[in-house]
């Protein structure tokens, strides 16, 4: 890198990488154009249920979300790391699910219409309630209109310290109420 050039990812590498995240695939579609991108999500409301995602405006998935006002979030199981690796790069062709041979899970009726990833741990189909530029990303807040959870899959795929990781062992009983959610 030339001297005096600011490395805009230095802070992300050094500090943001220390935020542990579940790995999710964000899906979106406008007719035959379908895309998916590796990312993550957090919840921002219990009632109504809402989650937030931050998407780079250059990504095809981001543009499809802006066009259609809908997205899906599929949280991946530890066995699905290869999907995270493949969806984290752009792909040729109108349908990224087909190009990358990622089996889609179609949205139920009235859930926005975005395709999700089959065999995931948990899937949420959302409609956009708010979107705003936040620095170099667009922050989308979506209301969860439909969901699907596979209770047999509990080994979440995580990202931490610029690596993929698996969840460790539990250190408490399930909370009877409140937090941890
Ligand atoms: C582990 C991982 C996490 C990522 N998280 C995000 C994210 O939160 N937001 C984002 O915009 N891109 C994220 N990316 C990058 C996108 O997945 C990548 O830019 C992708 O090529 C976008 O695909 P598209 O242009 O087909 O939509 C992540 C990539 C990886 C591998």
Residues 64 and 70: their CA atoms lie apart, in Å, by 8
The DSSP string of 25-85 is EEEEEETTEEEEEEE--EEEETTTTEEEEEE-TTSHHHHHHHHHSEEEEEEPBGGGHHHHH
Q: Residue 94 to residues 5, 88, 99: CA-CA distances in angstroms?
A: 36, 16, 8
Look at residue 8 in the predicted model and tell me its pLDDT.
Answer: 85
pLDDT tens-digit readout, 146-179: 999 999 999 999 999 999 999 999 999 999 999 9
- Rounded to the nearest angstrom, the distance between the alpha carbon of 149 and the centre of ligand 1 is 23
Binding-site residues, ligand 1, Cβ < 6 A: 23, 35, 37-40, 54-56, 59-61, 84, 88-90, 96, 137, 159
Element (H, E) at 11: helix 10-14
Q: What number is the average pLDDT over the span 26-55?
A: 98
Domains defined for the chain, CATH in brackets: 19-146 (2.30.110.10)
Look at residue 6 in the predicted model and tell me its pLDDT.
Answer: 73
Assess whether pLDDT exceeds 80 at residue 2: no
- Rounded to the nearest angstrom, the distance between the alpha carbon of 61 and the centre of ligand 1 is 9
Total-model pTM? 0.96
**Cβ of 115: how many Cβ atoms within 10 Å?**
24
């Amino acid at each position: 890198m030339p001297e005096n050039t600011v490395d805009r990812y230095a802070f992300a590498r050094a500090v943001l990488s220390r935020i542990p995240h579940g790995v999710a695939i964000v899906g979106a579609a406008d007719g035959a154009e379908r895309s998916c991108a590796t990312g993550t999500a957090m919840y921002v409301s219990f009632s109504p249920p809402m989650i937030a995602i931050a998407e780079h405006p250059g990504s095809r998935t981001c543009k499809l979300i802006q066009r259609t006002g809908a997205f899906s979030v599929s949280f991946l199981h530890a066995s699905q790391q290869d999907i995270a690796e493949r969806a984290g790069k752009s792909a040729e062709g109108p349908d990224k699910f087909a190009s990358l041979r990622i089996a889609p899970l179609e949205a139920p009726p009235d859930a926005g219409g975005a395709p999700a990833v089959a065999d995931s741990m948990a899937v949420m189909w959302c409609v956009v309630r708010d979107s705003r530029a936040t620095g170099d990303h667009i922050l989308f807040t979506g209301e969860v209109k439909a969901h699907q959870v596979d209770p047999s899959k509990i080994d979440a795929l995580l990202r931490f310290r610029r690596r993929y990781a698996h969840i460790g062992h539990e250190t408490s009983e399930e909370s009877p109420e409140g937090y941890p959610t």
